[in-house]
Structure 1
């Protein structure tokens, strides 16, 4: 499933990843090519052992006015939901 991920980066930092559909789920990637892998890993760990429902993906457009998501960019990341085991 394609989930929106907000990506932000300062000159001397890794790419920060924020997942608005998964409250409290964050990650980072040193290189652009690592974003997919780190996003998948973060979501798997977010749900591991937790009694959480997997939400349907939102649209990045619904977050455009949110002040938490400024000065970065959006990606749609394909999260393999078959690897997510909530309990």
Structure 2
């Protein structure tokens, strides 16, 4: 499922920081843009590990982009594999 993540741009000395608004307090970082999706997936998995919570549906990017705490960075859509996050969810393909 595609979730919007907010990227705080890094530089030569600092990693790109990422916050995931739909998972409050969940954050990650990566030195390279290509690493960000995997880091976000891992952060969400750890965030949900010991929690008995309901996985929230993605908030629209239009709504998130209007919030004052999300100024000066960039947005990235990340496909978070919820079957890895929610142990109760089971994917079943029948043919």
Match of 1:2 in 2: 2
Moved over 2 A (4+): none
**RMSD between superposed Cα atoms in Å:** 1.4
- Unpaired segments of 5 or more residues in structure 1? none
Match of 2:19 in 1: 18
Q: How many residues align?
A: 87
Q: Given the two structures, how large is their TM-score scaled by the length of structure 2?
A: 0.85
Higher relative contact order (CA closer than 8 Å, sequence separation 6+):
1
Match of 2:41 in 1: 40
Equivalent residue runs for 1:1-87 within 5 Å: 1-11=1-11, 12-85=13-86
